Amino acid sequence: MKHIGNISATEHDREKMKGPYTFALHQVLNDHSEFVCGGGAAIVNITTTFPINKVMFRQQLYGVRTWKALGQLKKEGLRNLYRGFLPPLLQKTTSMSLMFGSYYQIQRTLKQEFPNLWTPVNRTTAAIMAGVFESVLTPFERVQVLMQDRKYYSKFNNTIHAFKEVRTLGLKEFYRGQSAILYRNCSSNIAFFLVRDYIMDLHSKPRSEYEQFAVNFLSGAFLGAAISTACYPINVVKVRVQSKLGGRFCGFWEMFFVVLKERDYSLRKMFRGVHVNYTRSFLTWGINNAVYELLLKHLFNKTVDRGDS
Protein backbone atom coordinates (compact mmCIF):
# COMPACT_ATOMS: atom_id res chain seq x y z
CA MET A 1 0.00 0.00 0.00
CA LYS A 2 1.31 3.44 -0.89
CA HIS A 3 2.20 5.66 2.09
CA ILE A 4 2.21 9.46 2.27
CA GLY A 5 4.59 10.40 5.06
CA ASN A 6 3.43 8.22 7.97
CA ILE A 7 -0.18 7.97 6.71
CA SER A 8 -1.31 5.20 4.37
CA ALA A 9 -3.05 6.16 1.12
CA THR A 10 -6.38 4.80 2.41
CA GLU A 11 -6.11 6.87 5.61
CA HIS A 12 -5.04 9.86 3.54
CA ASP A 13 -8.17 9.62 1.35
CA ARG A 14 -10.39 9.07 4.38
CA GLU A 15 -9.05 12.21 6.06
CA LYS A 16 -9.50 14.20 2.85
CA MET A 17 -13.18 13.21 2.69
CA LYS A 18 -13.79 14.87 6.07
CA GLY A 19 -13.32 18.29 4.51
CA PRO A 20 -10.41 20.55 3.48
CA TYR A 21 -10.09 22.33 6.84
CA THR A 22 -10.09 19.11 8.88
CA PHE A 23 -7.62 17.56 6.45
CA ALA A 24 -5.35 20.63 6.59
CA LEU A 25 -5.43 20.65 10.40
CA HIS A 26 -4.61 16.95 10.51
CA GLN A 27 -1.66 17.50 8.17
CA VAL A 28 -0.31 20.39 10.26
CA LEU A 29 -0.60 18.37 13.48
CA ASN A 30 0.96 15.32 11.81
CA ASP A 31 3.89 17.41 10.54
CA HIS A 32 4.45 18.75 14.07
CA SER A 33 3.55 15.59 15.98
CA GLU A 34 6.69 15.68 18.17
CA PHE A 35 5.75 19.16 19.40
CA VAL A 36 2.15 18.09 20.16
CA CYS A 37 3.16 14.90 21.99
CA GLY A 38 5.87 16.66 23.98
CA GLY A 39 3.33 19.21 25.22
CA GLY A 40 0.76 16.52 26.00
CA ALA A 41 3.28 14.53 28.04
CA ALA A 42 4.16 17.66 30.03
CA ILE A 43 0.51 18.34 30.96
CA VAL A 44 0.16 14.85 32.46
CA ASN A 45 3.52 15.16 34.18
CA ILE A 46 3.22 18.61 35.79
CA THR A 47 -0.29 17.95 37.12
CA THR A 48 0.90 14.77 38.80
CA THR A 49 4.21 15.94 40.27
CA PHE A 50 3.66 19.61 41.20
CA PRO A 51 3.27 19.04 44.99
CA ILE A 52 6.54 17.04 45.07
CA ASN A 53 8.26 19.83 43.17
CA LYS A 54 7.05 22.36 45.73
CA VAL A 55 8.62 20.42 48.61
CA MET A 56 11.91 20.26 46.71
CA PHE A 57 11.75 23.99 45.92
CA ARG A 58 11.52 24.87 49.62
CA GLN A 59 14.57 22.73 50.33
CA GLN A 60 16.55 24.35 47.53
CA LEU A 61 15.67 27.87 48.63
CA TYR A 62 15.95 27.54 52.42
CA GLY A 63 18.17 24.48 52.82
CA VAL A 64 15.64 22.82 55.17
CA ARG A 65 14.98 19.11 55.60
CA THR A 66 12.07 17.27 53.97
CA TRP A 67 9.84 17.08 57.06
CA LYS A 68 10.26 20.80 57.75
CA ALA A 69 9.35 21.64 54.14
CA LEU A 70 6.30 19.37 54.38
CA GLY A 71 5.37 21.05 57.65
CA GLN A 72 5.51 24.48 56.00
CA LEU A 73 3.18 23.36 53.20
CA LYS A 74 0.78 21.70 55.65
CA LYS A 75 0.63 24.87 57.74
CA GLU A 76 -0.06 27.00 54.64
CA GLY A 77 -3.02 24.76 53.74
CA LEU A 78 -4.40 22.99 50.68
CA ARG A 79 -5.44 26.33 49.18
CA ASN A 80 -1.79 27.27 48.64
CA LEU A 81 -0.57 23.81 47.58
CA TYR A 82 -1.09 24.52 43.88
CA ARG A 83 -0.19 28.21 44.18
CA GLY A 84 2.20 28.99 41.33
CA PHE A 85 0.86 26.05 39.28
CA LEU A 86 0.06 28.08 36.13
CA PRO A 87 3.63 29.23 35.27
CA PRO A 88 5.14 25.71 35.37
CA LEU A 89 2.13 24.32 33.49
CA LEU A 90 2.61 26.87 30.71
CA GLN A 91 6.40 26.69 30.88
CA LYS A 92 6.71 22.90 31.00
CA THR A 93 4.09 22.30 28.32
CA THR A 94 5.85 24.69 25.95
CA SER A 95 9.32 23.59 27.07
CA MET A 96 8.69 19.87 26.52
CA SER A 97 7.04 20.65 23.21
CA LEU A 98 10.15 22.58 22.14
CA MET A 99 12.53 20.03 23.63
CA PHE A 100 11.16 16.99 21.79
CA GLY A 101 9.87 18.81 18.71
CA SER A 102 12.91 20.96 17.94
CA TYR A 103 15.35 18.13 18.74
CA TYR A 104 13.86 15.77 16.16
CA GLN A 105 13.17 18.52 13.62
CA ILE A 106 16.76 19.84 13.85
CA GLN A 107 18.11 16.29 13.74
CA ARG A 108 16.23 15.57 10.50
CA THR A 109 17.29 18.91 8.98
CA LEU A 110 20.95 18.25 9.80
CA LYS A 111 20.70 14.79 8.30
CA GLN A 112 19.26 16.24 5.08
CA GLU A 113 21.83 19.05 4.82
CA PHE A 114 24.83 17.04 6.07
CA PRO A 115 24.09 13.37 5.29
CA ASN A 116 27.64 12.27 6.17
CA LEU A 117 27.63 13.94 9.58
CA TRP A 118 28.50 11.50 12.36
CA THR A 119 25.32 10.53 14.23
CA PRO A 120 26.56 11.51 17.74
CA VAL A 121 27.53 14.96 16.41
CA ASN A 122 24.10 15.30 14.78
CA ARG A 123 22.35 14.38 18.03
CA THR A 124 24.58 16.56 20.22
CA THR A 125 24.06 19.62 18.01
CA ALA A 126 20.29 19.08 17.93
CA ALA A 127 20.20 18.64 21.74
CA ILE A 128 22.16 21.87 22.37
CA MET A 129 19.98 23.89 19.99
CA ALA A 130 16.83 22.47 21.60
CA GLY A 131 18.18 23.57 24.99
CA VAL A 132 18.81 27.08 23.71
CA PHE A 133 15.28 27.29 22.32
CA GLU A 134 13.87 26.17 25.68
CA SER A 135 15.71 28.97 27.50
CA VAL A 136 13.42 31.49 25.81
CA LEU A 137 10.84 30.37 28.39
CA THR A 138 12.92 31.66 31.33
CA PRO A 139 10.19 34.19 32.34
CA PHE A 140 7.86 31.32 33.33
CA GLU A 141 10.48 29.76 35.60
CA ARG A 142 11.29 33.20 36.98
CA VAL A 143 7.68 33.92 37.99
CA GLN A 144 7.21 30.36 39.28
CA VAL A 145 10.07 30.90 41.77
CA LEU A 146 8.55 34.17 42.99
CA MET A 147 5.09 32.63 43.33
CA GLN A 148 6.37 29.67 45.36
CA ASP A 149 8.55 31.75 47.71
CA ARG A 150 6.44 32.50 50.80
CA LYS A 151 8.01 35.92 51.34
CA TYR A 152 6.13 37.10 48.23
CA TYR A 153 2.73 35.65 49.20
CA SER A 154 1.44 39.07 50.26
CA LYS A 155 3.01 40.86 47.31
CA PHE A 156 1.45 38.91 44.45
CA ASN A 157 -2.26 38.08 44.24
CA ASN A 158 -1.87 35.59 41.39
CA THR A 159 0.32 34.67 38.43
CA ILE A 160 -0.93 37.46 36.16
CA HIS A 161 -0.34 40.01 38.90
CA ALA A 162 3.21 38.68 39.39
CA PHE A 163 3.97 39.04 35.67
CA LYS A 164 2.70 42.63 35.74
CA GLU A 165 4.79 43.51 38.80
CA VAL A 166 7.96 42.02 37.34
CA ARG A 167 7.28 43.85 34.06
CA THR A 168 7.52 47.21 35.87
CA LEU A 169 11.19 46.43 36.56
CA GLY A 170 11.94 45.93 32.86
CA LEU A 171 12.01 42.97 30.47
CA LYS A 172 15.54 42.06 31.58
CA GLU A 173 14.15 41.17 35.02
CA PHE A 174 12.24 38.23 33.47
CA TYR A 175 15.54 36.68 32.35
CA ARG A 176 17.31 36.69 35.69
CA GLY A 177 19.00 33.30 36.03
CA GLN A 178 18.98 32.48 32.30
CA SER A 179 22.65 31.45 32.29
CA ALA A 180 21.91 28.72 34.85
CA ILE A 181 18.99 27.54 32.72
CA LEU A 182 21.22 27.37 29.64
CA TYR A 183 23.84 25.33 31.51
CA ARG A 184 21.15 22.96 32.77
CA ASN A 185 19.15 22.62 29.55
CA CYS A 186 22.03 22.03 27.16
CA SER A 187 23.95 19.57 29.35
CA SER A 188 20.85 17.61 30.36
CA ASN A 189 19.50 17.47 26.79
CA ILE A 190 22.78 16.07 25.47
CA ALA A 191 22.88 13.36 28.14
CA PHE A 192 19.16 12.53 27.89
CA PHE A 193 18.80 12.22 24.13
CA LEU A 194 22.13 10.54 23.39
CA VAL A 195 21.78 7.91 26.12
CA ARG A 196 18.01 7.48 25.55
CA ASP A 197 18.43 6.94 21.83
CA TYR A 198 21.33 4.55 22.45
CA ILE A 199 19.24 2.50 24.90
CA MET A 200 16.25 2.40 22.55
CA ASP A 201 18.46 1.45 19.60
CA LEU A 202 19.83 -1.52 21.56
CA HIS A 203 16.50 -2.70 22.97
CA SER A 204 14.73 -5.42 21.06
CA LYS A 205 11.10 -4.89 20.12
CA PRO A 206 8.82 -5.58 23.14
CA ARG A 207 6.26 -8.37 22.92
CA SER A 208 3.32 -6.18 24.01
CA GLU A 209 2.28 -2.56 24.39
CA TYR A 210 2.42 -2.91 28.19
CA GLU A 211 6.01 -4.05 27.97
CA GLN A 212 6.79 -1.15 25.63
CA PHE A 213 5.24 1.31 28.09
CA ALA A 214 7.27 -0.19 30.93
CA VAL A 215 10.51 0.02 28.93
CA ASN A 216 9.82 3.65 27.97
CA PHE A 217 8.87 4.59 31.53
CA LEU A 218 11.82 2.92 33.24
CA SER A 219 14.44 4.08 30.73
CA GLY A 220 13.18 7.66 30.94
CA ALA A 221 12.79 7.47 34.74
CA PHE A 222 16.28 6.19 35.62
CA LEU A 223 17.98 8.36 33.01
CA GLY A 224 16.07 11.51 33.95
CA ALA A 225 16.62 10.96 37.68
CA ALA A 226 20.37 10.47 37.21
CA ILE A 227 20.75 13.57 35.02
CA SER A 228 18.59 15.69 37.31
CA THR A 229 20.70 14.63 40.30
CA ALA A 230 23.89 15.63 38.50
CA CYS A 231 22.37 19.02 37.62
CA TYR A 232 20.88 19.59 41.08
CA PRO A 233 23.43 22.21 42.26
CA ILE A 234 22.73 24.23 39.09
CA ASN A 235 19.05 24.36 40.03
CA VAL A 236 19.90 25.34 43.62
CA VAL A 237 21.85 28.34 42.31
CA LYS A 238 19.12 29.15 39.78
CA VAL A 239 16.45 29.26 42.49
CA ARG A 240 18.56 31.59 44.64
CA VAL A 241 19.28 33.93 41.73
CA GLN A 242 15.62 34.04 40.66
CA SER A 243 14.26 34.52 44.18
CA LYS A 244 15.66 38.06 44.17
CA LEU A 245 13.37 40.79 42.83
CA GLY A 246 15.06 43.94 41.56
CA GLY A 247 18.53 45.23 42.33
CA ARG A 248 21.88 44.14 40.95
CA PHE A 249 22.03 41.07 38.75
CA CYS A 250 24.13 38.29 40.22
CA GLY A 251 26.00 35.96 37.88
CA PHE A 252 25.82 32.19 38.11
CA TRP A 253 29.30 31.58 39.51
CA GLU A 254 29.10 34.51 41.90
CA MET A 255 25.90 33.10 43.41
CA PHE A 256 27.31 29.57 43.38
CA PHE A 257 30.10 30.60 45.77
CA VAL A 258 27.68 32.66 47.90
CA VAL A 259 25.46 29.59 48.40
CA LEU A 260 28.47 27.35 48.93
CA LYS A 261 29.76 29.69 51.66
CA GLU A 262 26.33 29.83 53.33
CA ARG A 263 26.33 26.03 53.47
CA ASP A 264 29.79 25.86 55.08
CA TYR A 265 31.52 24.91 51.81
CA SER A 266 29.81 21.54 52.03
CA LEU A 267 28.87 19.93 48.72
CA ARG A 268 26.62 17.60 50.71
CA LYS A 269 24.54 20.58 51.83
CA MET A 270 24.39 21.80 48.21
CA PHE A 271 22.55 18.55 47.51
CA ARG A 272 20.04 18.97 50.34
CA GLY A 273 16.66 17.91 48.99
CA VAL A 274 18.23 15.77 46.27
CA HIS A 275 16.35 12.64 47.36
CA VAL A 276 13.05 14.46 46.82
CA ASN A 277 14.40 15.72 43.50
CA TYR A 278 15.40 12.17 42.53
CA THR A 279 11.91 10.85 43.34
CA ARG A 280 10.21 13.68 41.46
CA SER A 281 12.54 13.32 38.46
CA PHE A 282 12.06 9.55 38.39
CA LEU A 283 8.30 10.06 38.07
CA THR A 284 8.58 13.11 35.83
CA TRP A 285 10.88 11.64 33.21
CA GLY A 286 9.23 8.25 33.34
CA ILE A 287 5.89 9.92 32.61
CA ASN A 288 7.37 12.25 29.99
CA ASN A 289 9.09 9.49 28.06
CA ALA A 290 6.30 6.92 28.26
CA VAL A 291 3.41 9.31 27.55
CA TYR A 292 5.33 10.97 24.70
CA GLU A 293 5.85 7.63 22.93
CA LEU A 294 2.27 6.55 23.71
CA LEU A 295 0.76 9.74 22.23
CA LEU A 296 3.02 9.54 19.19
CA LYS A 297 1.85 6.00 18.48
CA HIS A 298 -1.88 6.36 19.18
CA LEU A 299 -2.53 9.91 17.94
CA PHE A 300 -0.28 9.86 14.88
CA ASN A 301 0.52 6.18 14.28
CA LYS A 302 4.24 6.99 14.40
CA THR A 303 7.35 5.67 16.06
CA VAL A 304 10.30 7.88 16.97
CA ASP A 305 12.64 8.68 14.08
CA ARG A 306 16.01 8.63 15.84
CA GLY A 307 17.85 10.02 12.85
CA ASP A 308 20.41 7.23 12.51
CA SER A 309 23.00 7.72 9.85
- pLDDT score for 234: 96
CA–CA gap between residue 104 and residue 98 (Å, rounded): 10
CA–CA gap between residue 264 and residue 285 (Å, rounded): 32
Residues 6+ apart with CB under 8 A from 57: 145, 148, 239
Closest among 110, 257, 71, 88 to 159, alpha carbons compared: 88
- pLDDT score for 2: 42
Structural domains in the chain, CATH included, are: 1-31 (no CATH), 35-300 (1.50.40.10)
- pLDDT score for 1: 43
Closest among 171, 165, 163 to 144, alpha carbons compared: 163
**Amino acid at position 142, single letter:** R
pLDDT along the chain (309 residues), means of 10: 47 54 59 88 88 80 82 83 81 91 94 93 95 93 88 88 94 95 96 88 74 90 95 94 92 94 89 86 93 90 60
Closest among 30, 5, 94 to 296, alpha carbons compared: 30
- pLDDT score for 3: 44
Number of Cβ atoms within 10 Å of the Cβ of 113: 8
- pLDDT score for 6: 47
- pLDDT score for 249: 92
- pLDDT score for 309: 40
- pLDDT score for 235: 94
The model carries a pTM of: 0.78
- pLDDT score for 220: 94
